[in-house]
Structure 1
Amino acid sequence: MTTIDKIAWIQISDGAILGARSHGKDVFYLPGGKREPGETDLDTLAREIHEELAVTIETSTATHVGTFEAAAHGTPDGAVVRVTCYTADHRGTPSPSGEIAELAWLTFADRDRVSAVNRVVFDHLHGSGLLS
């Protein structure tokens, strides 16, 4: 079984979480992506968020929220995605960049609009009282 290793940014405001939808995709994901060889979690977080949202992550403020696993969206071979999530302060205003077609502030009511692993994250955040 294949495990896809991803790093994601948790940005919550007023009980909603920032979600990103890539061009050609039908669900929202948490902003972030796959690690490149030799990168740490925070290297990946900073690079991916800059590429996708055109903001700068303040890595010194990063806090690990949790690591979550579920079936990978849209993969027929039963691959699993493991996403390690961090909160962190940032500089700039998030805007769609690179592969990102759309950004949206999502609440727990939008759970059916995100990938399976992000549903697990939504459940955790909602249970913790962070996601409305």
Structure 2
Amino acid sequence: MSQLPALLVAAIALVRDRRVLMVTARDRDVHYMPGGKIDRGESAAEAAAREAFEEVALELDPDGLVELFEVVVQAHGEPEGRLVRMRVFRAETDAAPAASAEVGELHWVTTADVDRCPPAGAEVLRRLAASGVID
């Protein structure tokens, strides 16, 4: 059996008041990091900035994003063995995020919300909590 290619994605971690911004898609209750697939010819930081604008209306400079870590876990809603490789970047902005047409709602979450997240988001919450930036 051939190995399915990993899904390469980038996401932002916007932390305020010891909570991190997550979103839900329309008509779904799963919380996920603002982000998405890295397009051909695009760096992970460029993808994270583009997706942040598309999903939560934040204009971020890719050169100002600092990569925190990469999460590699089973991809949510994909066949067993298909992994997601999510590169997570710290976002710094005073702008107010706003839900776009692709996003149902914004949520400021802590580790108390880990059971509402797919595997990658849950791992991001655990790592952010371990580094002391969220509760």
Q: TM-score range by the shorter chain?
A: over 0.9
| Structure 2 equivalent of residue 28 of structure 1 | 31
In the alignment, residue 18 of structure 2 is paired with which amino acid? G
Quick one: which of 104, 113, 120 aligns to 1:117? 120
Quick one: which of 69, 73, 76 aligns to 2:76? 73
User: Shift of residue 97 of structure 1?
Assistant: 0.3
User: Shift of residue 43 of structure 1?
Assistant: 1.4
Unmatched runs of 5 consecutive residues or more in structure 2: none
Given that 1:19 and 1:28 are in contact with CA atoms closer than 8 Å, whether structure 2 keeps it comes out as yes
Shift in alpha-carbon separation, 1:14–1:20, aligned structure 2, 3 A: same
Q: Does 1:104 align with 2:112?
A: no
| Structure 2 equivalent of residue 16 of structure 1 | 19
Per-residue displacement from partner, 1:36-67 (whole Å, max 9, x unpaired)?
11001121112111111111013332111000
| Structure 2 equivalent of residue 50 of structure 1 | 53
User: Shift of residue 24 of structure 1?
Assistant: 3.5
Superposed CA RMSD: 1.4
Unmatched runs of 5 consecutive residues or more in structure 1: none
Shift in alpha-carbon separation, 1:124–1:12, aligned structure 2, 3 A: same
Question: Runs (4+) of structure 1 moved beyond 4 Å?
Answer: none
| Structure 1 equivalent of residue 66 of structure 2 | 63
| Structure 2 equivalent of residue 82 of structure 1 | 85
Give the distance between the partners of 2:79 and 2:65, measured in 1 at CA: 34
| Structure 1 equivalent of residue 44 of structure 2 | 41
**Same amino acid, percent of matched pairs:** 31
In the alignment of these two chains, the number of paired residues is: 132
In the alignment, residue 69 of structure 1 is paired with which amino acid? V
Q: TM-score, normalised by structure 1?
A: 0.92
User: Shift of residue 89 of structure 1?
Assistant: 2.2
When structure 1 is superposed on structure 2, of 23-32 and 85-94 the one drifting more is: 85-94
Given that 2:45 and 2:63 are in contact with CA atoms closer than 8 Å, whether structure 1 keeps it comes out as no
Give the distance between the partners of 2:76 and 2:101, measured in 1 at CA: 20
